[in-house]
Amino acid sequence: MVGIILASHGGFAEGIYQSGEMIFGKQENVKACILKPSEGPDDIRKKMEDAIASFDDPEQVLFLIDLWSGTPFNQASNLFAEHKDTWAIVTGLNLPMLIEAYGARLQDGITAREIAKQIVGSAKDGIKTLPEGLVPKKEAPKAAESKQPTGAIPEGTVLGDGHIKYGLVRIDSRLLHGQVATAWTKSVRPDRIIVVSDNVSKDKLRKNMIIQAAPPGVRANVVPIKKMIEVSKDPRFGATKALVLFENPEDALKAIEGGVDIKTLNIGSMAHSEGKVAVNKVLSLNEKDVETYDKLNEMGIKFDVRKVPNDSPENMMDLVNKAREELTKKK
């Protein structure tokens, strides 16, 4: 029987698992894997790997995930890369989709990919309104207009005022994920997302995943720190409004010291790992992080501590001092 993994941000996957059981009865070879606010990509991946290992037939796995480009999707996609011939991923998880999947996998010999094809229609048909006239007529989606020129631009060309515009510069250990691809992109409206990381720029799989996760109308690039420093001084990017993502504060500091004109850093999430202490639900810092934020603060960099645009900002240096105290106690 095809194994099914329900994956989501927060407890959504567990809730819909319970709802499906109420309607369709208890199910075997189904696991709910949730990403908690304090967890990172490695945590949700480990949960998925453990779930797959428990299935009767790990060669036939269907992922039903809440959001395209979110961390659960990105980690499932990473695992999927080694099983492209048999596994399948469907995002936009809802209850009609799940019930259809449960019914479909009762068919003898059906595969994960066949179920994936079958359930998309049920997921869409399950979206209805009262009054019925609220349902908009179907139109082809339009990509956001971009002011970015197409084709190669001769070196030395000056576009706009010759200086790249930073709509948002964010530190987030998950890099490009659901909160960035949806909430922040809609708020900032960039025409380019730039992930700056020496490590990720060398990882072909992660690099491709990030490029594929970019929302419609926004181009994504993954570059090493040295390249970002060069881009910041290249007048050909003068018409670019960028959303820049760093994996950690150390990389951001290197870029700023190299001449990247960053005035404010949005602090998103920093996953917990050995040697770190949690200072709130999504931020964990170690001694190196504390030293780096101290230096950035001394340089006059402002901090905007928010997961999503509607959050109330926290005081970053208060969180840094909290981490400093906790780390001192652990010595």
- Determine contact, residues 280/311, Cβ cutoff 8 Å: no
The residues near 162 (Cβ < 8 Å, ≥ 6 apart) are: 235, 238
- Determine contact, residues 280/323, Cβ cutoff 8 Å: no
- Determine contact, residues 146/189, Cβ cutoff 8 Å: no
- Determine contact, residues 62/5, Cβ cutoff 8 Å: yes
- CA 225 – CA 194 distance, rounded (Å): 11
Longest alpha-carbon distance in the chain? 66
Torsions phi, psi for 243 (to 5 deg): -110, 110
The residues near 133 (Cβ < 8 Å, ≥ 6 apart) are: none
Catalytic residue list contains 177: yes
Catalytic residue among 83, 163, 177, 272: 177
Q: Which residues pair with 61 in a beta bridge?
A: 3
- What would the DSSP string read from start to end of 144-160? PP--PPPS---TT---T
Beta strands in the chain (DSSP E): 3-9, 30-35, 61-65, 88-91, 165-171, 192-196, 219-223, 241-246, 264-267, 277-278, 284-285, 302-305
- What would the DSSP string read from start to end of 250-298? HHHHHHHHTT----EEEE--B---TT-EESSSSBEE-HHHHHHHHHHHH
Catalytic residue list contains 163: no
- Determine contact, residues 219/246, Cβ cutoff 8 Å: no
Catalytic residues, by residue number, are 9, 177
